[in-house]
Structure 1
Amino acid sequence: MSINYHAFQNRGVAFSEHEEDAIIWYQKFSGFNPQKISNILHLQIIDGNPHIRYFNNEYRLNCQNGKIEKLIDDKWDDERVCFNEAMAIYHLFTYTKEMPVVSGEYMLASSLQGEVVANPYVKDPLIWPFEERFKNRVDRLRSLCKKACGIEINEGDCGFEFEAFPMVHIRLVFWDEDEEDDMPASLKIWVDKCILDFMHYETIGCITSDLLEMLEKADDV
Structure 2
Amino acid sequence: MQTNYKIAYDKGWQELKARIPSEVAFRRRVLFDEVKQQFTIRFFHDEYLLDWEQETVRKISDGQDAEIIAAIIILNYLSYSALCPEVSSSWVSLKDIPNGGALFFPAFRKNSIDVLIQSFGKSSSLLLLCGARMGGVSAPMGSVSMVFQALPMIPICVVLWEGDEEVSANATLLYQPSVSDLLHIESLIGLGMHLVDQLKKLADEQPL
Considering the TM-score relative to the shorter chain, is it more than 0.5? yes
AA at the equivalent of 1:94 = S
1:159 alignment partner, one of 114, 136, 145: 145
Bigger helix share: 2
Aligned-residue offset at 1:128: 1.4
**Equivalent of residue 88 in structure 2, options 103, 109, 129:** 103
- Does the residue aligned with 2:165 lie in a helix, a strand or coil? coil
Shift of 1:191: 0.4
Instruction: Output aligned runs, 1:56-95, within 5 Å.
Output: 56-73=45-62, 75=63, 77-78=64-65, 81-95=66-80
Question: Percent of aligned positions with the same letter in both sequences?
Answer: 21
Structure 2 counterpart SS, 1:59: strand
Alignment-derived partner of residue 23 in structure 2: 36
Shift of 1:30: 5.5
Higher relative contact order (CA 8 A, sep 6+): 1
Q: What is the alpha-carbon root mean square deviation over aligned residues?
A: 2.6
CA distance in 1, matches of 2:23, 2:2: 25
Aligned partners of 1:29 and 1:66 also within 8 Å: no
Q: Give runs of aligned pairs for residues 1-221 of structure 1, distance below 5 A.
A: 18-29=5-16, 33-46=20-33, 47-73=36-62, 75=63, 77-78=64-65, 81-113=66-98, 115-118=101-104, 124-180=110-166, 183-221=167-205
Whether the 8 Å CA contact 2:136–2:146 is kept in 1: the answer is yes
**Runs of 5+ in structure 1 lacking a partner?**
1-13
TM-score by length of 2: 0.84
Q: Which runs of 4+ in 1 moved over 3 A?
A: 14-33, 117-123
Cα 1:26–1:42 change in 2 (3 A) is closer
CA change 1:15–1:195 in 2 (3 A) is farther
TM-superposed deviation, 1:167:
1.3
Give TM-score scaled by structure 1 length. Answer: 0.79
How far residue 119 of structure 1 moved from its aligned partner, in angstroms, is: 7.2
Whole-angstrom distance in 1 between the partners of 2:193 and 2:112: 7
- 27-36 or 138-147: which moved more? 27-36
**CA deviations over 1:131-190 (Å, ceiling 9, x no partner):** 11222111111222223221111101110111001211010001122432xx42211011
CA distance in 1, matches of 2:6, 2:108: 31
Distance 2:133 2:194 in 1: 15
| Partner deviation per Cα, 1:5-34 (whole Å, 9 max, x = no partner) | xxxxxxxxx578833333434444468641
C-alpha spacing 1:21/1:119, structure 2 compared with 1 (3 Å): closer
Letter in 1 for 2:44: F
Determine the structure 2 residue equivalent to 1:8: none
Q: Secondary structure at the match of 2:47?
A: strand
> Counterpart amino acid of 1:35?
S
